[in-house]
Chain A
Amino acid sequence: MDRTTTEWKISLNVRAGLLAVVILALLLGLWEGLNRAPILGGGAELSEYEMLLGGADETASVPPPSAIMVRAWEQLSDPFYDAGPNDKGIGIQLGYSLYRVLAGYVMAAAVAIPIGFLIGMSPLAYKALNPFIQVLRPISPLAWMPLALFIIRDAEASAIFVIFICSIWPMLLNTAFGVAGVRQDWVNVARTHELSSLKTAFKVILPAAAPTILTGMRISIGIAWLVIVAAEMLVGGTGIGYYVWNEWNNLDLTSVIFSILMIGIVGMLLDMSLAYVARFVSYAE
């Protein structure tokens, strides 16, 4: 790589960064400008009706970015406070959601990767299990919720089950796909070196399929994080999904928008962490 390319790359990154900042500033400015809080009184006495409304606009408006930033500062400066069931810090709520997502996700991985391996290795297993997968996969994970609640009889565990059932499919299918697609040459290398099936699986097939498996894991964690919000809205109690719904019931749109942002940021971090892991198992042919 020569100097000029590097310089060009940096300048491209800088310019992209600048452009992103400009777009952000424009959007926030527009949003802020369209959402001016009503100018109180305008010098005149407030009518009784206006006093009842507390000086607010007649039509409620989306809170401006400045209000959200203030709320974000409040929340993030004390993320783990706990003042009763309906008043917990954003950190605690996100913690609950992350715990559920990770619990369901890890269980799904523990089931999906071995079964995916089996399906990828054995055409018999593939043909036998494929109909089940094809029927179960398109079911919205939330549709399982009533059944889960009835069978498990525990809201917390039902939420985890919903995460489990939604994150299992991408991992299962990608593992099967990756394992089935391992180049025969590499398997032949294992065979000519008299590797046992177990060693072949771990030393050749697993590393060969690892990038595809990791892709499945990334898709799964994304879906799990999408689903947890909805699941917690249904289940209630704790978690970021519950938090969003609770703040909506409180008509606190500032908090709603703030938590939406947090959901996005946490989801991005989850994806980035798996992308980071994927770098260690990727290889160029």
Chain B
Amino acid sequence: MSHAFVEVQQAAKRFPGNTKDAPPLTVFENVSFQLQKGEFVCIIGHSGCGKSTIMNALAGLDQFSDGSMVMEGKEINGPGLERGVVFQNYSLLPWLTTLENVRFGVRARWKAWSEREVTEHSMKYLEMVGLKDVVDRKPSQLSGGMRQRVSIARAFATKPKLLLLDEPFGALDALTRGVIQDELVKIWTHDQQTVFMITHDVDEAILLADRIFLMTNGPEARIAEAVEIDLPRPRNRAEIIKHPNFYTIRNYLVDFLVNRSGDLRVQENEFKGMHYPPSINPVNLGAAVDAPTTPPEATPAAGHEEKLVKFTPKEIRHG
């Protein structure tokens, strides 16, 4: 039985209605996907489609109402060090210095290490993000971009098998964002971790991702398509826009977000059962891109039908 590195099967998130008789609010329904080892996957969708819930569930900080998550053959049911998280608001501990914040993660990961080893390892990652001169500053004395670098250094330094980035650059200005994206690519190339990242930025997604999951609008959102980005690596911001396929991909994504993410919601909603989002390559799609109203041929990835679905409904308990 072959398993992908991470498998999410038929996940759903529902919130109970305001009154007893009101139907529960379904944020997303029947979301299934796989992540391969070493893959960089971005997920894009409008606010409210449940991206963050999916991410928090993978991190073990939230729970799906339905569905199961398996990583390397083991079910995910709680936070763990094999999954590192970079939060949108950095989540640095403000009473610790930059170095201590990274050491916090490293110490938690390798409890047997000596103090010196922990410091050296932390410093290595702080150097990678260009912060070795400010290691004694508290987060409050750092700029937003620097804080996010510390957060990235902390997450990468623990060498998690899966890295979850929740809109890590959302609060940064465009210039800083570009610089840190480059650093992220560098550090990711160095460690080859599997990365799952939420973003709102189409260009960022194209620059970083191997595949981009496109989500339809919530409520009752789904992952509509998995867009393959086969632009050559290493990519950098200056060169990638000159690639002949860049705008084909970009237009396809923007078109999805602007026009199709709303329409697709109603369509195919009764499509029950286990299915992964169809793989799309906008470059090979050609003419379909210019006709937004025709949904592209859905070509579900073959080979998953025979897989047994482990369906473990979970009780809904909120607040």
* A192 and B61 form a contact (CB under 8 A): yes
Contact of A188 among B81, B87, B95 (CB under 8 A): B87
* A193 and B105 form a contact (CB under 8 A): yes
Q: How far in angstroms is the closest Cβ of chain A from B79? A: 4
Q: Which residue of B lies closest to A203 (CB)?
A: B104
Q: How far in angstroms is the closest Cβ of chain A from B95? A: 4
Question: Does B93 make an interface contact (CB < 8 A)?
Answer: yes
B residues near A203, Cβ cutoff 8 Å: 104
Question: Does B84 make an interface contact (CB < 8 A)?
Answer: yes
Question: Does B248 make an interface contact (CB < 8 A)?
Answer: no
Interface centre among A186, A193, A195, A210 (most CB of B within 10 A): A193
Interface centre among B79, B95, B105 (most CB of A within 10 A): B95
* A283 and B140 form a contact (CB under 8 A): yes
**Cα–Cα distance between A195 and B107 once the two chains are bound (Å):** 10
**Cα–Cα distance between A204 and B104 once the two chains are bound (Å):** 10
Question: Does B144 make an interface contact (CB < 8 A)?
Answer: no
A residues near B138, Cβ cutoff 8 Å: 283-284
**Cα–Cα distance between A11 and B83 once the two chains are bound (Å):** 56
Question: Does B109 make an interface contact (CB < 8 A)?
Answer: yes
Question: Does A7 make an interface contact (CB < 8 A)?
Answer: no
* A193 and B60 form a contact (CB under 8 A): no
A residues near B61, Cβ cutoff 8 Å: 188, 191-192
Question: Does B85 make an interface contact (CB < 8 A)?
Answer: yes
Question: Does A48 make an interface contact (CB < 8 A)?
Answer: no
**Cα–Cα distance between A204 and B85 once the two chains are bound (Å):** 17
* A194 and B140 form a contact (CB under 8 A): no
What are 15 of the A-B contact pairs (CB < 8 Å)?
A185-B87, A185-B89, A185-B91, A188-B79, A188-B87, A189-B91, A194-B79, A194-B80, A194-B108, A207-B93, A208-B93, A208-B95, A281-B95, A284-B94, A284-B140
What residues of chain B have their CB less than 8 Å away from a CB belonging to chain A?
A: 59-61, 79-81, 83-85, 87, 89, 91, 93-95, 104-105, 108-109, 138, 140, 158
3 closest A-B pairs by CB: A284-B140, A193-B108, A283-B95
